[in-house]
Structure 1
Amino acid sequence: MLFNSIDFAIFLPIVFVLYWFVVNKNLKLQNFLIVVASYVFYAWWDWRFLSLIMFSTLVDYLVGISLAKQEHAVRRKMLLWTSILINIGFLCFFKYYNFFIDNFITAFSFFGYKIQPNSLNIILPVGISFYTFQTLSYSIDVYRRKLVPTADFIAFSAFVSFFPQLVAGPIERATNLLPQFYKKRSFHYGKAVDGLRQILWGLFKKIVIADNCAEVVNQIFNNTGDFSGSTLVVGAVLFAFQIYGDFSGYSDIAIGTSRLFGFDLKQNFAFPYFSRDIAEFWRRWHISLSTWFRDYLYIPLGGSRGSKFQQIRNVFIIFVVSGFWHGPNWTFIVWGALNALYFLPLLLGSKNRKHIEIVAQGKWLPTIKEILLILSTFALTTLAWVFFRADNLSHAWSFISEIFSYSLFTIPQIQPKILSILILFMLLIEWSGREELYGIERFGITWKKPYRYAFYYTIVFLIFLFSGEEQEFIYFQF
């Protein structure tokens, strides 16, 4: 079920009414309703894969209970590895089986051997990368004794399957989200209005920005050989805004929807295109995944401690694994490695935490230096996005080669003027709200009601005006 669909527009009010007006007196019934609603939400795509979520939930629930009772170090480690191997095993089978088989065949054919193993027509379960990492974080935190395991199976099931963030995050930690299922929740009008405001902004970024960028991006990327380098630059830039509008839009809708039900999810995007270097970008882009890899992979590997070789190794591991997490394609691995190369000079020069504070904090305008840093970081990020969007490495190389040809200095064959104005509008709004949790959290909040509501209705009007064919969110494929 898509957030930007009629189905969800009907589903959400029904669940909301049942949640606050029918089962609101009983916490366990509220949690049970969330589980049922989440399973319906997921089954709308394919009910058969509900068994995977249920099995993963049961495994990690039992592992948590067992870890609480077990003090023997070796047995505790065995329990943890049971959770890791089962969850990662499912993820690898459904997401990476054919990738490894195809590359196995290619490797042996290079040496003259012909192998005919069977490839499978495997359907990738929506959201498996997200809920797998969410349940794994629970088992790991219980193992590390950072979290007391729950005995409430309904609350744990609700945590794993919570429908607003089930299929594309944010990837929540049990330390933040699970305790919220234990507490009685009361309807708060201000919190609900804030949630609706964030949903509205998320829909704007998805429908008006991302979906309209997608039409031009698909035209350019699907016919790369027909366009000049300058036009390909237009395509790359628009894809940067497409993936941002699509994924941060999803996160805004997920967080806003959660707030309607009395839950607070972590911020997943913090205006990453206003970053002044790549390190800052990765602190602001897909925060829930970046911090997951930091806490459960990078730091256990040694982080930025140890020798320079170890530091470089750790950086490449975390970025390449992050790239591979996105999908079974060498383009994602190269995308991750390229970001590692961007990051290395900052790490080796001890400048990777230079820009912690918000750019131009407390000011309206940035300095010339900050503008140049933002533009250069965006350019590097956009270049890397070409690999992310390309069908394969050959496609990516031909795309980039044409960009750096003489045709770069020609007039673009495609000039999306209206779309450019809409992107500029989004950037201005987000720049004004960059110190908040999302773009319009405080925008116009002090205006008189007629002006404030005129702004909201303008957003609604733009959503209807520029809505086209219903499109899936990009990160559903991951």
Structure 2
Amino acid sequence: MLFNSLDFALFLPIVFLLYWFIFNKSLKLQNALIVVASYTFYGWWDWRFLSLILFSTIVDYSIGVALSKQEHQTKRKVLLWTSILINLGFLGFFKYYNFFLDNFIEAFSLFGTQIQANTLNIILPVGISFYTFQTLSYTIDVYRNKLEPTKDFVAFSAFVSFFPQLVAGPIERASNLLPQFYTERVFRYEKAVDGMRQILWGLFKKIVIADNCAQYANIIFNNSDDYSGSTLVLGALFFTFQIYGDFSGYSDIAIGTSRLFGFDLKQNFAFPYFSRDIAEFWRRWHISLSTWFRDYLYIPLGGSRGSKWNQVRNVFIIFIVSGFWHGANWTFIVWGALNAIYFLPMLLSGKNRNNLDVVAQEKYLPNLKELGSMLVTFSLTVFAWIFFRAENMEHALDYTFRIFSKSLLNYPVFEKDDSAKLILLLIVLFIIIEWLGRRHKYAIEQLGLNWNSMFRYTMYLIIIILLFWFGGNDQQFIYFQF
């Protein structure tokens, strides 16, 4: 079920009314309703894959209980690795089986040996990368004695399958979300209104910005041989705002929807395109995944401690694994490696934590140094997104070489370029609103709260009109494929 669908527009108020007016007398009943609603939400796509979520839930719940009763360190490690291997085994099979098989066959063919093997027609379960990492964090934290294992199977099932963030995050830690299923929830009007505002802004980012940028990004990337270097740069820019509007829009809708039911999820995006260096960008982009890899891979490897070689190794491992997490394609691995190359100079010079505050914190506009740093970081990010978007490495390299040609100085021309000008104006307006709201959890969190109610509701009405005016492209969320 998609957030931007009529199905969800009917599903959400039904669940909301049942949750607060029928099941509000019992916390267990509310949790059970969340499980049923979440399984309905996920099963709407393909009910057969509900068995995977249920199996993962049973495995990690059982291992958590077993860890609480086991003090022998070796046996505890066996339980931990059982969880890791089962979860990553399912993820690896559905997501990477054909990739590894194809590359295995190709590697042997280079030495003149032909191997006959057939790939499988595997359907990738939506959201498997997200809920797998969420359940793994629970088991690892229980193993590390950072979290008490739950004995409440319904609450744990609700934590694993919580429908607002089930298929594309944020990837919640059990230490933050699971205790909220034990606590009585009370409806708060102000919290619900704030949630609705965030949902509205998330829908704007998805439907108005991302889906319309997708049209032009697809035209240019899918026909890159026909266009000048300047047009290809424009295509990369369209994709840059498509992926941000699409993924951060999903996160806003997920966080806002959770707030309607009395839950608080972690912020997943913090205005990353205003970053002054790549280290800051990765503290602000897909925060739940970045911190997951930091806590469960980077730090256990040694982090930034030890020799320079160890630091370089750890940075490349975390970024390449992060790239590979996104998909079974060499383009994602190269995208990760590129970001590692961007990040290394800052780490080795000790400047990777220079920009921890919000840019131009007490000012309306950045100074020239901040502006220059943001433009350089943004340009590096746009270049890396080319590899993320390209169909394969050949396409990515050809796209890049065509950009750095004489045609880079030509006026960008492509199919539907007249209608694209309006979207470019909307992107400029979007950037301005995001800039003004950069100190908050989402751009319009405080916008209009002190205005006359007529002006405030006019703003909401304008956003809703834009949703209908620019809607209808029916673009699936990008991160559903991951």
Which TM-score tier does this pair reach, normalised by the shorter chain?
A: over 0.9
1:41 aligns with 2:45: no
Moved more, 378-387 or 416-425: 416-425
Q: Which runs of 5+ in 1 are unaligned?
A: none
Match of 1:459 in 2: 463
SS in 1 for 2:97: helix
Return the match for 2:434 from 430, 433, 448.
430
Query: Could you say what secondary structure the match of 1:167 adopts?
Result: coil
Deviates most, 152-161 or 455-464 = 455-464
> Quick one: distance in 2 between partners of 1:79 and 1:227?
55
User: How far apart are 1:469 and its partner, in Å?
Assistant: 2.6
| Cα distance in structure 2, aligned partners of 1:95 and 1:62 | 25
- Tell me what 1:157 maps to: 157
Q: How far does residue 78 in structure 1 lie from its aligned partner after superposition?
A: 0.3
In 2, Cα distance between the equivalents of 1:442 and 1:50? 39
The answer to whether residue 235 in structure 2 is matched with residue 238 in structure 1 is no
The answer for the alignment partner of 1:122 in structure 2 is 122
Give SS of 2:76's match: helix
- In the TM superposition, what are the counterparts of 1:297-336 in structure 2 within 5 Å? 297-336=297-336
Match of residue 188 from structure 2: 188
Q: Distance in 2 between matches of 1:247 and 1:388?
A: 14
Tell me which residue corresponds to 2:103: 103
- Residue of structure 2 equivalent to 1:26: 26
Rounded to whole Å, the distance in 2 between the matches of 1:17 and 1:352 is: 47
Whole-angstrom distance in 1 between the partners of 2:473 and 2:204: 15
- State the alpha-carbon separation in 1 of the partners of residues 340 and 383 from structure 2: 14
Deviation, structure 1 residue 369: 1.0
Partner of 1:143: 143
Following TM superposition, by how much is the alpha carbon of 1:118 offset from its aligned partner in structure 2, in angstroms?
Answer: 2.2
**How many percent identity over aligned positions?**
73
1:413-428 equivalences under 5 Å are 413-414=413-414, 415=417, 416-428=420-432
Q: 2:450 aligns with which of 430, 438, 446?
A: 446
Amino acid at match of 2:290: S
Match runs of 1:342-353 below 5 Å: 342-353=342-353
Shift of 1:117: 1.4
Separation in 1, partners of 2:41, 2:25: 24
**Structure 2 residue aligned with 1:56:** 56
Q: CA deviation at 1:417?
A: 1.3
Q: Please list the CA deviations of residues 415-446 of structure 1 after superposition, one character each: whole Å capped at 9, or x if unmatched.
A: 42111111111111111110100010001111
Question: Partners in 2 of 1:60 and 1:31 — Cα distance?
Answer: 18
Paired position in structure 1 for 2:202: 202
> What is the correspondence of 1:171-182 to structure 2 with a 5 Å cutoff?
171-182=171-182
User: Following TM superposition, by how much is the alpha carbon of 1:468 offset from its aligned partner in structure 2, in angstroms?
Assistant: 1.8
Tell me, in whole angstroms, the C-alpha distance in 1 between the residues paired with 2:262 and 2:71.
Answer: 36
- 1:474 alignment counterpart: 478
Question: In the alignment, what sits opposite 1:222?
Answer: 222
Amino acid of the structure 2 residue aligned with 1:452: R
Q: Which moved more, 1:453-462 or 1:48-57?
A: 453-462
CA distance in 2, matches of 1:63, 1:117: 36
Equivalent-residue separation in structure 2 for 1:430 and 1:455 (angstroms)? 15
1:327-378 residue CA offsets vs partner (Å, 9 max, x unmatched): 0000000000000000001001100001000000021111011111111100
Deviations 1:21-53 (A, max 9, x none): 000010000000000000000000000000000
TM-score by length of 2: 0.99
Greater Cα offset, 416-425 or 208-217: 416-425
Structure 2 match to 1:77: 77
CA distance in 1 between counterparts of 2:457 and 2:235 reads 35
d(CA) in 2 for partners of 1:446, 1:4? 29
SS of equivalent to 2:303: coil
Q: Distance in 2 between matches of 1:174 and 1:363?
A: 37
Task: Name structure 2 gaps, 5 residues minimum.
Answer: none
Mapped to 1, the partners of 2:174 and 2:233 lie a distance apart of 42
CA–CA separation in structure 2 for the residues paired with 1:245 and 1:113: 46
| Contact 2:212/2:473 (<8 A) preserved | no
* Cα distance in structure 2, aligned partners of 1:426 and 1:71: 54
Question: Equivalent residues in 2 for 1:281-300 (5 A)?
Answer: 281-300=281-300
What SS does the aligned partner of 2:290 have? helix
Residues 294-317 of structure 1: per-residue CA shift (max 9 Å, x gap): 000000000000000000000000
CA distance in 2 between partners of 1:20 and 1:234 (Å): 47
Shift in Å, 1:74: 0.1
Q: Is the 8 A contact 2:276 2:370 kept in 1?
A: yes
**Is the Cα contact below 8 Å between 2:229 and 2:406 reproduced in 1?**
yes
Aligned partners of 2:77 and 2:221: how far apart in 1?
Answer: 47
Partners of 1:278 and 1:469 lie apart in 2 by 32
Query: 2-side partners of 1:131 and 1:362: how far apart?
Result: 39
Partner of 1:380: 380
Q: d(CA) in 1 for partners of 2:475 and 2:430? A: 20
**2-structure distance, mates of 1:177, 1:435:** 24
The DSSP-based 3-state class of the residue aligned with 1:47 is helix
Runs ≥4 residues deviating over 3 A: none
Which amino acid in structure 2 is aligned with residue 435 of structure 1? R
Which whole-Å CA distance do the structure 2 matches of 1:36 and 1:362 have between them?
Answer: 47
Superposition CA RMSD, Å: 0.5
CA shift, 1:470, in A, is: 1.5
